[in-house]
Chain A
Amino acid sequence: MSAFIIRRLLQSVVVLFVMSLLVFFGVHVVGDPVYMLIAPDADQADIQAAIEALGLDRPIYEQYWYFLVNALQGDLGNSFIFSEPALKLILQRMPATLELAFAAMFIAVVLGIPLGVYAGLKPESIPARAIMAGSILGFSLPTFWVGLMLIMVFAVMLGWLPSTGRGDTVAVLGVPLSFLTLDGLSHLLLPALNLALFKLSLVIRLARAGTREVVHQDYIKFAHAKGLSTRRVILVHLMKNIMIPVVTVLGLELGGVIAFAVVTETVFAWPGMGKLLIEAIQQLDRPVVVAYLMITVLMFIVINLVVDLLYSVLDPRVRLKEAGQ
Chain B
Amino acid sequence: MTALKKLTLTEPELVQALQSKDQAVLKTLYSMYSSALYGVISRIITHTELAEDVLQETFVKIWQSAAHYDHTKGRLFTWMMNIARNLSIDKLRSKDFKNSLKNQDIENNVSFVDEQNKVTFNPDVLGVKQLVDNLKPDLQAVLDLVYYKGFTHVEAAEKLDLPLGTVKTRIRLAIIELRRNFN
Pair from one complex: no
Chain A: residues with CB nearer than 8 A to chain B?
A: none
